[in-house]
Amino acid sequence: MKVTNTKIYDTVKEVVGEDSLKVVEFLRDKKNISDFKIAEKVKADIHEIRNILYRLYNHNLVTYYRKKDRQKGWYISYWTFNKKRIKDLMKNLHYSKLEKFGERLKHEEANKGNIYLCPSACVRVNFEKATDFGFKCPECGSILNLQDNSKTIEFLQGQIKELYRTNGFSKMGNGIKIGNGFGNGHSLISNGNGNGLGNGHSLGNGHSIGNMHANGNGHKLVMKARISEKRH
């Protein structure tokens, strides 16, 4: 997968924050730039720049070394953007979203037709919680209304399907595993050695996660993911 500038900025924005983009844009194709120089070029306070740099560093998006200034007597840090880290972060974000949508889908399907919503959107709860609240909103006292959550289920199915459609990581890394929100918690990704899930592992309630097929010589795996709604 090619890492474009757009993907770099989108990933950094989601992981570190939008305020970090000015630093990344400046550092992207440069090496060993002092924090003072960065602050000067992006026209920002040195303390703000250092805060951003440390946040980027916490995600391994930058590297640095320190060198003592002989004239001034203090150490200056020189920073370099770590573009190679972007693919790992993109992959982590992708599977994190997939897991969260899977957990949400499982919850919505388990409570299909039994979701109650406050008219002012203070709370949205299942039947058990609504009963505990006496079918009244604990925040504003309004009567909780039964909500048809079929559209929510369709939306989540669509999001999961789209994540599989745009998955560019099936050939990256080994043994990536998607956590507890997916049915019985099976790993979904091949390990690059021809090992992966077979057929029929389910996502939530009646949603199957595709098939692993080898090519002619059995060396290259392709995962075809599909989300199919269980027919009642």
What is the pLDDT, as a whole number, of residue 214?
Answer: 36
> Taking the mean position of all CA atoms in its chain, how far away is CA 152?
20
Say if pTM beats, i.e. exceeds, 0.75: no
What is the pLDDT, as a whole number, of residue 21?
Answer: 96
Give ∠ CA 134-139-143 in degrees, rounded to 5.
45
Q: Which amino acid is at 51?
A: N
- E runs forming strands in 13-127: 33-34, 62-68, 75-81, 115-117, 124-126
Q: Is 94 exposed, middle or buried (0-12, 13-18, 19+ CB in 10 A)?
A: middle
What is the pLDDT, as a whole number, of residue 208?
Answer: 37
- Render each residue's pLDDT in the chain as its tens digit; 232 residues: 678 889 999 999 999 999 999 999 999 999 999 999 999 999 999 999 999 999 999 999 999 999 988 888 889 999 999 999 999 999 999 999 999 999 999 999 999 999 999 999 999 999 999 999 999 999 999 999 999 999 999 999 999 998 888 765 544 333 333 433 333 333 333 333 333 333 333 333 333 333 333 333 333 333 333 333 333 4
What is the pLDDT, as a whole number, of residue 167?
Answer: 65
Q: What CATH number was assigned to the domain covering residues 5-83?
A: 1.10.10.10
Cα–Cα distance between 152 and 126 in angstroms, integer? 14
Domain regions of the chain by residue span:
5-83, 87-111+155-232, 114-147
